[in-house]
Amino acid sequence: MALVKGTPAPAFEGKDQNGQPIKLSDFKGKKIVLYFYPKDNTPGCTAQACDLRDNYQALQKAGYQVIGISTDNEKSHQKFIAKFELPFPLIADVDKTIHEQYDVWKEKSMYGKTYMGTVRTTYIIDENGLIAEVIEKVNTKNHSEQILG
């Protein structure tokens, strides 16, 4: 089933950069920016994470909890957070379970080759656990603006 506005966000559980469990139900009653990105320390992903970092106070003021998620491991996330001073958790979805729940692990192509990878997507989840918005055409340098409208 496609995840569209108004449908329940799939319940997930993963581990953050410190190996601590993090799940959707931890944020009951809060708005969440759940953003899926391909890889730590790559230009687009770094631009996106830094834009969210630079606008983190505005996002929090608007009531959002930001959670990033990629298939990188905890150690990679720790380095990424330290290097760019990211104030929000990153989930290590190494086995791609959450990616598959949110339908962002898909076939992609580059230079004529096809491969499986993360399709950069952000889900805005409301206080009731429903998907309020799906941002598929992410502007990595101005992502906060897309979220805050």
Residues marked active site are found at 45
CA-CA distance, 39 to 14, in Å (whole number)?
Answer: 17
Residue with tokens 């329940």: 8
Structure tokens at 16: 């953050």
- CA separation for the pair 20, 26 (Å, rounded): 12
> Rg of the chain over CA atoms, in angstroms?
14
Give the separation between CA 65 and CA 91, rounded to whole angstroms: 13
**Residue 35 parent element (H or E):** strand 31-36
Give every CB contact of residue 52 below 8 A, 6+ residues apart in sequence: 33, 35, 59, 66, 68, 86, 88, 143, 144
